[in-house]
Structure formats: structure tokens, C-alpha cells
Structure 1
């Protein structure tokens, strides 16, 4: 079995369909209780956002705390650039089964969850400087994150460093990382926007081709991206698009 890890996104999909049946874990409830104490002004400082946006976050935390927040499938609710480049609307039943078995989302509110597990509208990542029971969010979740991949032999990371660093160094050494670069005039460049789009499209290729090994991954091609052996090593697969 292969575990593919993807990060969350700040942007949410307003067209996602509400679902029933989410029950929060003890750890999630602890975080919610902490954030529900914050005023709008507190949240503006925590998130470094303007007060009108902080009012929206205040309302969301109160709804989650009061158990009145709607729930959505995580893969459908997150809507950042990577998610918009996952061909999720066209997944058939076999695709969805592969996603259920192999794709997991690293979150700062729920831990490591299945792609179709339920979540609520919220804004939280590991950059917020908030202590939960005296610990940073990364330390608060580390043991759970490590446990989620404890018995896995093949862990594919499509994560940013922010999310990778929640795992202990020992567990990070298991990761097969994927890097996406553009080559222009013989110069290789890594670009955040291009990487986010490429992660979404790469994940789509993994799903559609039912990829289950590193060798199969190396055969993936999309948007001019091809595997480059000379720019790869034992733990990182480099895909380069010549422009």
C-alpha cells in the first residue's frame, strides 16, 4: 500500500455539498476550545488578516464550538491552486476507491485524515503562533502524524516544508519527495505557483493510472513535465518541463 500525503489549502470551495456525521476527536476539540476563546481582534493578530476577514473566522470557530458548523468532504472543500488542478469532478468510482485507500491530507485541526473524511470550514495551518496545552501546533500533532505512517513502506510527499516538518526527522526519511522544475535557457527554476499546479496534476495522474510504485511514478508525463533521472536522487524524484 502506498500513502500519498497532500497539504490543506486556505481557499475553500463555496460550492461543496454539506454532509452529515462528523464527530471531532479529543485533540481537535482542544484546538477548537482554544480558538473559540479568541475575539475578532485576537484572530486578526493571529492570522495577520484584516478585521472583516477575522470576523468570518470568529464566526466559523464559534459554529464549530457550538456544533452548528456544516461538514464537507475535505477533498471537495479545500480549493487552493493545487486542489483546483486535481481533476476531482471527473473521478469515477474506481478513482474514488484509489483516493480513499491512498490519498491523505495533513491538517492542523484534524491531524492526518482521509481525502474524503469530513471537515468544517476553518482557517488554520502550522504557521499560526498559538499554543495548545503549552505546545506549538507542530509539537501538538507530531506523535499522531508519525503514527499515521508508522507501518508504511512507501510514503509519497506532495507536501510543502511547513507540513513535512510536523513529522519527526526519522519518519521524514521515509518520504519519496516530488519536485517540479522549469528549464528555461538551460537554467532550472522552482516556482511556487507552478509547483502547486503540478502537484494537483501529478496527483490526478497517480489516481487515473492507479500508480503503486516509484518505477510507475517515473513514467508519468503531463504539461511538458517528464522525469529527470540526472536531477533526482534516492529520495527525490525530479520532474522537469522544458519551456
Structure 2
């Protein structure tokens, strides 16, 4: 069983850095494409301010020159979902669960264990980067599939557009989740609810050492409970 989570644009580099492995062939090809962009081109590419573009240019050049600082990915990313994941003072069992089951999907690094060394980067699959004439999704599809080819059960906390990097065969093994709030009898779904809930959900999976769909259905976390009437075999619904 594997659990897939996305990267985040918010990052915390106020951390001890760790040693990194050399980039994979696929990652190096992505980096080579990124190094062709000037600071001003990155500004429009990422749709960010000039200041953020300069920051990202510095990240790319540091990776190119092999002087980038690397951090455990689960702690580097610091978006809303990540801030709701238990990441410190883990028990041995929780640490082992993270190491054995949780994978981060990155447009730069591929599908890697959650505590892998990563350098700061903001690339994702919505960016229109061409790698040797291919889209990012096409470039990564084979390596993404290979990372999960031996898995029979995959819990996906990715957004649907990022799941499409994987082939149909891999996606058919995925169980997905939706998180809703009951407000005066009306069920609401929005990104803030979903992001917070995904982090709390992953924490509950880890704390309870969950490895099956049946165990997930029994979970209660952050006010959320499983709703069978809103669920299907491949999509489980939780309501707060």
C-alpha cells in the first residue's frame, strides 16, 4: 500500500539540510529545460512577482551548479495540507509508516519517499514546460508508472489533474477521497477544507497504522467521519 501526496508552493527552508543523491536522468532533463529561462521569463512562466522569479532563478542555478541545499521533502513543503500533517516527535511506528508508505509526487523529482532530500522548487504539472519536446506529464508518465507498478492498493491525496500523470492502469488501483463540511444541512467542498483535511487524514492514517480501506472507514479525525451514503468503492467521502 502506498499513499500519494502532492508538493506545495509554500516552503520552509529554516531547517537543517541533508545530503542529496544525484538527480535521476528524468529530473536532470527537467532541470536542463528550466535552466534555459531568464529571470523575466520565469516571472511569466510561473505567473509570479519579479522578486519570486529571482528567487526561483537562484534555486534553479543552485541546482544546476550542484550547490543547492536539500531538505527532507515532508518538512520542506509547508502549505496548508503539510501544516496539518504530524511531522515532528514521531514514534518509531509513525516514522516507519512514513518511510514505508508515503510518497510525494514532484514535477522535478518524480515519485519519491516522503522524507527524500529535495531542493526548493515550485514546478508543478500545471506549468507548460517542454522537456525534449514533450509535456511534463508525458515526460514523467513512464517513471511515475514504474514507481507504483508493484502496488495493488494506492491511496491518492492528489488533485485529479495530477493523477492523470499516471496511466489508466495505475489510476484504476487508486482510492481517492473527498472531504466536506456540513453547514446547516448543506454539504460544502472547498480547497481550504480539503487541504486541511488531507493533512489531518494522513496524520490519522499514520497514527493508526492504517493499511486497508476497511480501516479507513472506521476513522474519525478533526471532526470528520466516513459517510457510506456519499461514497463509492473508489472514492470515500468524509463529512465534518
Cα pair 1:156 1:177 within 8 Å, conserved: yes
Aligned CA RMSD, in angstroms, stands at: 1.0
Q: What corresponds to 1:133 in structure 2?
A: 132
CA distance in 2, matches of 1:187, 1:165: 30
CA distance in 1, matches of 2:21, 2:169: 32
Measured against aligned partners, the alpha-carbon deviations of 1:111-135 in whole angstroms (never above 9, x if no partner) come to 0000011110111001111100111
Q: What corresponds to 1:192 in structure 2?
A: 191
Worse overlay, 92-101 or 230-239: 92-101
Shift of 1:169: 2.0
SS in 2 for 1:226: strand
Worse overlay, 135-144 or 84-93: 84-93
CA distance in 1, matches of 2:226, 2:127: 35
Scaled by the length of structure 2, what TM-score is found?
0.97
Aligned length: 240
Shift of 1:14: 2.6
Q: What corresponds to 2:146 in structure 1?
A: 147
Shift of 1:151: 1.5
CA distance in 2, matches of 1:84, 1:147: 30
Shift of 1:171: 1.4
CA distance in 2, matches of 1:14, 1:178: 30
SS in 2 for 1:5: strand
Measured against aligned partners, the alpha-carbon deviations of 1:67-86 in whole angstroms (never above 9, x if no partner) come to 00011111110111000000
CA distance in 2, matches of 1:67, 1:75: 21
Q: What corresponds to 2:220 in structure 1?
A: 221
CA distance in 1, matches of 2:223, 2:91: 26
Cα pair 1:104 1:115 within 8 Å, conserved: yes
Q: What corresponds to 2:200 in structure 1?
A: 201
Q: What corresponds to 1:156 in structure 2?
A: 155
Cα pair 1:63 1:69 within 8 Å, conserved: yes
CA distance in 1, matches of 2:150, 2:144: 12
Q: What corresponds to 1:25 in structure 2?
A: 24
Cα pair 2:20 2:118 within 8 Å, conserved: no
Structure 1: runs of 5 or more not aligned: none
Cα pair 1:22 1:119 within 8 Å, conserved: no
SS in 2 for 1:89: coil
CA distance in 2, matches of 1:153, 1:54: 41
CA distance in 2, matches of 1:48, 1:20: 31
Q: What corresponds to 1:52 in structure 2?
A: 51
Q: What corresponds to 1:181 in structure 2?
A: 180
CA distance in 2, matches of 1:198, 1:17: 28
Tell whether 2:117 aligns with 1:118.
yes
Note the 1:29-108 alignment, pairs <5 A.
Answer: 29-108=28-107
Measured against aligned partners, the alpha-carbon deviations of 1:42-82 in whole angstroms (never above 9, x if no partner) come to 10111011111101111110000000001111111011100
Scaled by the length of structure 1, what TM-score is found?
0.96
Shift of 1:162: 2.7
